[in-house]
Structure 1
Amino acid sequence: MTKHLNLLVGGPSELWPDTLKLNQVTGDWLGIDRGNLYLLNMGITPLVAIGDFDSLTSSEFNLVSQSVKDIRKSIPEKDDTDTQLGLKIAIDEYHADRVDIYGATGGRIDHLLSNLWLVLEPRFKKYVSKIRIIDRQNTINYFLPGEYIIEKEPGKKYLGFVLMTPVENFNIDDAKYTLKNFNGNYPFSFASNEFIKDTVSFSFDQGIVCVIQSKDN
């Protein structure tokens, strides 16, 4: 049986997708720092509460402590971010087949970049295809070398291909803008591509590629 876990990070709630605001996201949850408080306020009890909880007042942390059985409190001065700790628990302890991360965009840019680059860490690399970052305007998927067909999400007009690492023989087919046998040795974003039908095909032989389906606000 597929194990689907969601992580809620403490980013701005105004950037959540409507499915999250309406509490329509399926799967169990891990709460990351202030994300635990958001979940509890929606009537969702996370399996694990993770973080240094430096963004919570003492009364807010008491509420989390009384509501969640498994509290993983870390010290603020640590090597891993709270989101890294949450992803590690989702993969190593719960063996999740899919990890969707919400609340990971907006706010501080250093936090945003840290979350976007999680998949580049050697310990997470083999799980790249299991990880998504989702917000109000974007769905971010990551891919290892191979051949893929992706389906257009409802309401998402734009399609971006971001080369996270050097890539070899990168191809985009069936999109508004196609690409053939591209080799690149530094990160680059092929932005503002579009679907011309319900699917787009792409392939590459080396590297990590991030695919973003997005819409205007």
Structure 2
Amino acid sequence: MKLNILVGGPKEQWPKKLVDGNVRGPWIGVDRGALRLIKLGITPELSIGDFDSMTESEFNLVSNHSKKIKIANPEKDDTDTELALREAISGFKFDSVTIYGATGGRIDHLLANLFFIFREPFNTMFEKICLVDKQNSIRFFKPGKYQLIKENDKKYLAFIPLTPVKNLSLIDEKYTLDQINFVNPISLASNEFMGDTGEFSFESGVIIVIQSRDDEK
């Protein structure tokens, strides 16, 4: 099962299919993300958050149109994204999780939505997670050999070692690497597929892979 989560990032960063209400599957809505889902005609399986920024009528709308609602303490250690993922892990069976609304806006929120993968229990399942906005899809990889499938609307490909990485090879992309080590985080940006797929491999560390396109003007 593919599970979807909507957190509270700017609507301007939503992909068109979400704007049009065409993302299928069960949903978790986080705080104002739950309200936005309901306004799209989507009934969240779970709405979670402290909801302290909502008016009474907005909160009633979320309460009446969610299958389940959970109110969180405003003073919490988890970010909204982490809160939703903890509920997903404990309450849902899923093969993958796509998170929307996790980019744009405050940079500290964006960084939190990239670095949470090092915390338990997310560090055991982050390869199942994808962050999506209107220009990017972001995935996390443990060591191994992989074949990426090019997304039709994306042109660029980036490989970002988050930790020291050993023997990174970009096998058939436009710009290749052959078993290169990286000690510090770096963005190997603006690479491209040469066909419909691209292979890469590495032996240790954690890598983010981003497929992206320029913004439409």
Which category describes the TM-score, using the shorter chain as reference length?
Answer: over 0.9
1:149 and 1:202 in contact (8 A); partners too = yes
Amino acid at match of 1:5: L
- What does residue 149 of structure 2 align with? 151
1:32 and 1:50 in contact (8 A); partners too = yes
- What does residue 194 of structure 1 align with? 192
Q: 1:115-154 to 2 correspondence within 5 Å?
A: 115-154=113-152
2:37 and 2:43 in contact (8 A); partners too = yes
> Shift of residue 181 of structure 1?
1.1
Q: Would you say 1:61 and 2:52 are equivalent positions?
A: no
- What does residue 74 of structure 1 align with? 72
Runs of at least 5 residues in structure 2 that lack an aligned partner in the other structure: none
Give the ranges of 4+ consecutive aligned residues of structure 1 lying more than 6 Å apart after TM superposition: none
Match of 1:168 among 159, 166, 174: 166
Amino acid at match of 1:154: N
Identity %: 53
Q: Would you say 1:85 and 2:83 are equivalent positions?
A: yes
2: CA distance between counterparts of 1:69 and 1:47?
5
Deviation string 1:11-51 (CA, Å, 9 cap, x unpaired) is 11111111111111121000011000100001101011111
1:30 is paired with a residue of what secondary structure? strand
> Shift of residue 86 of structure 1?
0.5
1: CA distance between counterparts of 2:174 and 2:101?
30
- What does residue 19 of structure 2 align with? 21
2: CA distance between counterparts of 1:139 and 1:197?
18
> Shift of residue 57 of structure 1?
1.9
Task: Give the TM-score of the pair, scaled to structure 2.
Answer: 0.96
- What does residue 32 of structure 2 align with? 34
1:52 and 1:82 in contact (8 A); partners too = no
Task: Give the TM-score of the pair, scaled to structure 1.
Answer: 0.96
1:172 and 1:201 in contact (8 A); partners too = yes
1:11 and 1:104 in contact (8 A); partners too = yes
Q: Which moved more, 1:100-109 or 1:48-57?
A: 48-57
Match of 2:103 among 85, 105, 125: 105
Q: What count of residue pairs does the alignment treat as equivalent?
A: 215
1:19 and 1:25 in contact (8 A); partners too = yes
Q: Which moved more, 1:90-99 or 1:4-13?
A: 90-99
- What does residue 214 of structure 1 align with? 212
Kindly report the root-mean-square deviation, in angstroms, between the aligned alpha carbons of the 2 structures. Answer: 1.1
Amino acid at match of 1:120: F
Runs of at least 5 residues in structure 1 that lack an aligned partner in the other structure: none
